[in-house]
Copies of this chain bind each other. A is one copy, B any other.
Amino acid sequence: MVVLDKMGSFFVGGRRVRVSGKPTRRVAYSSNVVTEYDPNGTFVVEPAYVQYFLPQQPRFRTPLVLVHGGGLTGAQWEDTPDGRPGWVARLLEARIAVYVIDNVERGRAGWCAIEGEWPDLPVVRSDEEAARFYRFGFAGNQFPIDCMDKLSAQTVPRWPSTYPLQVAALDAVVERIGPAILIGFSQGGGLSFIVADRQRKRVKACVGLEPHGLPTTYANGIPRTPALMILGDYIAEDDYWRDMAKRGQESMDAWRGAGGRAQVWDLPVLGQRGNTHMMMMDRNSDILCGMLIEWLDQCFRAGDFN
């Protein structure tokens, strides 16, 4: 059961673009509606979309912000590919306030279709690359591989060039929400730590799930903020993932060196075997969410946030 005091969404950030001098063209919207389309005018591009769910009697006041990975949207935190409740539902059942973002260009945030505004072409991850990149090839892995179609269906195009826009948008989200806890996955993990560093008074805890693109240095003065990096199984099997874990460890050390606290969870060492990169979709997703909630409870009891 989920009891909400408030739910809804808003858009944050973005900029106005003015287009002029382009030719109109005829467009058929359906067999009987054909109009002259004018691509000129003003547009708002590059906002982030934020959907929020605020429980009535929150476990603690500070909300989570869930930051999706590359080529994915906020949908990745909802039902798992095999149709079980995902982390959003589980966190709300635990009475934790949740903000789910679709960052710039993804999902409901929309993307900029105005020619010349973005320098690069979009890329989309194939099932084959996903299976390799997400470590689905190992015996005993926890991803419901027979439901690959459902992961594939939620994979969306991405533009590598928009990274700085996504940093700025997440920054604006945290400014708007106020004190918050960032939970970022993969690309979203890097984004979360970059913004945690920029918003030291507002970000009360930061969690990276196999984060990519973490900073490796932080200026002194992080106010004891707890950080957590969570790593799945099979990391040692591949240079790419060994590098990710090594950089992550460097980042956590630097975070600690700058005044923060930091932990790394090596899930197999903690008894959770077989986790792929998509840990919030793996068969043991409920157990992992429970572990995360326990960690948040500890931080709350330690006075890290209200």
A residues lining the B interface (CB < 8 Å): 1-11, 14, 16, 19, 27-30, 32-33, 37-44, 47, 49, 51, 56, 70, 73-75, 78-79, 83, 85-86, 88-89, 92, 102, 107-108, 110-111, 113-114, 120, 122-124, 126-129, 149-150, 152-157, 160, 163, 187, 190, 212-213
CB distance from A267 to the nearest CB of B (A): 23
CB atoms of A30 and B78 under 8 A apart: no
For the complex, give the distance between the alpha carbons of A49 and B85 in Å.
16
CB atoms of B153 and A44 under 8 A apart: yes
Which chain B residues lie closer than 8 Å to A74 at the CB level? Answer: 108
For the complex, give the distance between the alpha carbons of A32 and B217 in Å.
14
CB atoms of A129 and B41 under 8 A apart: yes
Which chain B residues lie closer than 8 Å to A27 at the CB level? Answer: 120, 123, 160
CB atoms of A150 and B110 under 8 A apart: no
CB atoms of A127 and B92 under 8 A apart: no
CB atoms of A102 and B113 under 8 A apart: no
Which chain B residues lie closer than 8 Å to A43 at the CB level? Answer: 124, 126-127, 152, 155
New A-B pairs, 10, CB < 8 Å, besides A33-B213, A43-B155, A107-B107 = A7-B92, A11-B153, A27-B160, A38-B129, A51-B75, A107-B108, A108-B156, A110-B153, A110-B157, A113-B157
